[in-house]
Structure 1
Amino acid sequence: MDTLIQQLINGLMLGSIYGLIALGYTMVYGILRIINFAHGDLLMVGALTALSGMQTLTRYFPAISPLAALTAATLLAMAVCALLAMGIERFAYRRLRNAPRLAPLISGIGLSVLLQTAAMMIWSRNPLMFPQVLPMDPIAVTHGSAAHPPAIITVTGLVTLALALLAMAGLWLLVEFTRLGRGMRAVAENPRVASLMGINPNRIITLTFAIGGLFAALAGVMMASNYGSASFSMGFLPGIKAFTAAVLGGIGNLRGAMLGGLLLGLIESLGAGYLGELTGGLFGSNYQDIFAFIVLILVLIFRPAGLLGERVAQRA
């Protein structure tokens, strides 16, 4: 039972990060019907920007507290990634809206390579240590025993899970109960009709990319805080897994992206944990990445629309 609870905790923490990134994929797809494969690299830009921001603040303001520096650096990273996402939409995707579907896909892959190369030139190719601001001391969740250690969680893990769930709930409220959310739903249904009703589709699409960039930056800071490092390539694999989570939940559906992220994190954690036990440690955490792609293959074969399907209507 202690092992099960520990794997559930690990899975929820990991899945919450996947869910945040998956929201960016599903919002863009719901409106434009394209997959922004450069979205995962916004996570990397957010983490490295936050790291540079913290270093700059502590250099020029030595008296600043580490928590205040992390908060300010996170807000800076979110602003930078939002502006970068808006630039990506304006210069890489706007002219390709009516192009064949393969064109935006190739553009996104090219942008991903460009962002990784630029990050490698700015921050170097070596992994950089990310400051551990929040306490990493383990907090026992269960009592455990001599044979089985208790399930644990850290303050960083708790904050990560809480922030992710709050961000997801906030986005859902934004989409369902605000004027911007109504505009996003209208453009997703039919951009031409929405423009006739006084909605500016270009503005809605740009803001959608910006919101996705905000969430990607937050996910990047959370991931770097949990693992204690950041690098130019850190966003590629989480981005692919978040895309898998979006497909699992039903790409184009916000609740599906949240559900898919949490489920994928749980599948990875439980699969790697119990596979390691069953094989005596031969297979374990080093093989957890395969579960995401197994899930993607199975979903595409047996339920291409995802668990919650896609509620976006066909355009006229």
Structure 2
Amino acid sequence: MDPKTLLQNLVNGLSLGSLYALIAIGYTMVYGILRLINFAHGDIFMMAAYFTFFFVTLIQLPWYFAAIFAIASAALLGFGVDRIAYKPIRKAPRISALITAIGVSFFLESLAVVIFSGIPRSFRTIFPQFLNEMIILGGHMEIKYGQEVILGGIRFPIISVVTLVVTAIAIIFLWWFIYKTKIGMAMRSVSVDIPTTSLMGVNVDRVIGMTFALGSALAGVGGILWAVRYPQVWPYMGFLPGMKAFVAAVFGGIGSVPGAVVGGLVLGITEVMMVGLFPGAAGYRDAFAFFILIIILSVKPSGLLGKPELVKV
């Protein structure tokens, strides 16, 4: 593989990995507080793409307003899922919460089929206008027909560049929110000890609901970017990306936000590089992600940045 192709694949891998990271953050935040794997998370990712599509096509909103409202709707949906499905079983055995999460996932997928139909929708019709403009900067960078960035003779898909920038902004905002706000401090406290945090006057249910909303908003950002990258929306589009994001969260250390980011980036780069080096194995790229999961669980169950949990007797 020549250096230019290697660099192109690296950028594409970072772009794909950043999408996995955005979804994986939601998994790891919920698990860090409730020790719950929210399998409905990938379906909230799917609903955000549908929200964007219909905000543009039915309500005729500009794409940027549609994206904002879709992200807000995804956050509200995540908050509602917690209040309706998970809050009543806070003190139930973990297996009950796991079964509920699977049930919510099936419910959202079936609801999307009933409301939106199972026919895939093309996302190209609402492709942002600014991506269709020709921009030349100093003769060094060119955005050609909204499809690619040409930098130093190397061609990068523009959506890859946009995805990296948006993901970086989202992660910086998340860091600020968790470490610089009171609700973020409460989230960190709840993730360590729920009973003690409750005794200190913190409304734990409100903090948990905010965690679901924030994680779902990030999944909404990922869903919109995914639909732009792979311009087709359908009710089961969130299943495989959601499972891969779960693999990324486990790989990085479930419960660790930096681990989710690292795991998503590593998984995306590895997946793209594997296809680039072994084109004949492209059909096995999805299976490769789950092979990584098996290896990680066998060698280091706590993940790259995760901490082993003490066994409670």
TM-score, normalising length: structure 2: 0.90
Helix, strand or coil at the partner of 1:153: strand
In the TM superposition, what is the alpha-carbon distance from 1:291 to its structure 2 partner?
A: 1.7
Match of 1:293 among 290, 298, 311: 290
Q: In structure 2, what residue type is equivalent to 1:310?
A: K
In the TM superposition, what is the alpha-carbon distance from 1:183 to its structure 2 partner?
A: 0.2
Q: In structure 2, what residue type is equivalent to 1:297?
A: I
Helix, strand or coil at the partner of 1:283: helix
The answer to whether the aligner puts 1:271 opposite 2:271 as a matched pair is no
Separation in structure 1 between the aligned mates of residue 261 and residue 97 of structure 2, nearest angstrom? 25
Q: In structure 1, what residue type is equivalent to 2:301?
A: P
In the TM superposition, what is the alpha-carbon distance from 1:253 to its structure 2 partner?
A: 0.6
In the TM superposition, what is the alpha-carbon distance from 1:83 to its structure 2 partner?
A: 1.3
* 1:292-311 correspondence to structure 2 within 5 Å: 292-310=289-307
Helix, strand or coil at the partner of 1:308: coil
The answer to whether the aligner puts 1:172 opposite 2:172 as a matched pair is no
CA spacing shift, 1:252–1:314, aligned 2, 3 Å: farther
Helix, strand or coil at the partner of 2:58: helix
CA spacing shift, 1:152–1:313, aligned 2, 3 Å: farther
Helix, strand or coil at the partner of 1:288: helix
CA RMSD of aligned residues (A): 1.8
Post-superposition Cα deviations, 1:278-297, rounded to whole Å, max 9, x if no partner, equal: xxxx332x321122101111
Match of 2:13 among 11, 14, 19: 11
Partner of 2:48: 46
Match of 2:155 among 152, 156, 164: 152
In the TM superposition, what is the alpha-carbon distance from 1:142 to its structure 2 partner?
A: 4.5
In the TM superposition, what is the alpha-carbon distance from 1:97 to its structure 2 partner?
A: 2.2
Q: Which runs of no fewer than 5 residues in structure 2 stay unpaired?
A: 133-145
Report how many residues are paired: 294
Separation in structure 1 between the aligned mates of residue 38 and residue 223 of structure 2, nearest angstrom? 17
The answer to whether the aligner puts 1:137 opposite 2:147 as a matched pair is yes
Separation in structure 2 between the aligned mates of residue 21 and residue 275 of structure 1, nearest angstrom? 27
Separation in structure 2 between the aligned mates of residue 98 and residue 7 of structure 1, nearest angstrom? 46
* 1:13-162 correspondence to structure 2 within 5 Å: 13-58=15-60, 69-130=62-123, 131-133=126-128, 134-135=131-132, 136-143=146-153, 151-162=154-165
CA spacing shift, 1:200–1:54, aligned 2, 3 Å: same
* 1:245-284 correspondence to structure 2 within 5 Å: 245-276=248-279, 282-284=280-282
Greater shift in the superposed pair: 19-28 or 153-162 = 153-162
Greater shift in the superposed pair: 127-136 or 211-220 = 127-136
Helix, strand or coil at the partner of 1:139: strand
In the TM superposition, what is the alpha-carbon distance from 1:105 to its structure 2 partner?
A: 1.2
Separation in structure 1 between the aligned mates of residue 311 and residue 190 of structure 2, nearest angstrom? 12
Helix, strand or coil at the partner of 2:278: helix
Separation in structure 1 between the aligned mates of residue 166 and residue 108 of structure 2, nearest angstrom? 26
Separation in structure 2 between the aligned mates of residue 306 and residue 169 of structure 1, nearest angstrom? 23
Separation in structure 2 between the aligned mates of residue 156 and residue 266 of structure 1, nearest angstrom? 16
CA spacing shift, 1:267–1:104, aligned 2, 3 Å: same
In the TM superposition, what is the alpha-carbon distance from 1:40 to its structure 2 partner?
A: 0.5
Separation in structure 2 between the aligned mates of residue 314 and residue 152 of structure 1, nearest angstrom? 51
CA contact (8 A) 2:253 2:302 kept: yes
Separation in structure 2 between the aligned mates of residue 293 and residue 283 of structure 1, nearest angstrom? 15
- Between the aligned residues of both structures, percent identity stands at 42
Separation in structure 2 between the aligned mates of residue 296 and residue 142 of structure 1, nearest angstrom? 37
Q: In structure 1, what residue type is equivalent to 2:41?
A: H
Separation in structure 2 between the aligned mates of residue 39 and residue 183 of structure 1, nearest angstrom? 22
Q: Which runs of no fewer than 5 residues in structure 1 stay unpaired?
A: 62-68, 144-150, 277-281
Separation in structure 2 between the aligned mates of residue 304 and residue 142 of structure 1, nearest angstrom? 42
The answer to whether the aligner puts 1:212 opposite 2:215 as a matched pair is yes
Post-superposition Cα deviations, 1:73-123, rounded to whole Å, max 9, x if no partner, equal: 111111211111111111211122222221111111111111011111111
Greater shift in the superposed pair: 95-104 or 257-266 = 95-104
Q: In structure 2, what residue type is equivalent to 1:111?
A: V
Helix, strand or coil at the partner of 1:307: coil
Separation in structure 2 between the aligned mates of residue 22 and residue 214 of structure 1, nearest angstrom? 12
Q: In structure 2, what residue type is equivalent to 1:103?
A: S
Separation in structure 1 between the aligned mates of residue 220 and residue 79 of structure 2, nearest angstrom? 14
Aligned structure 1 segments of 4 or more residues deviating by more than 6 angstroms: 311-316
CA spacing shift, 1:315–1:88, aligned 2, 3 Å: farther
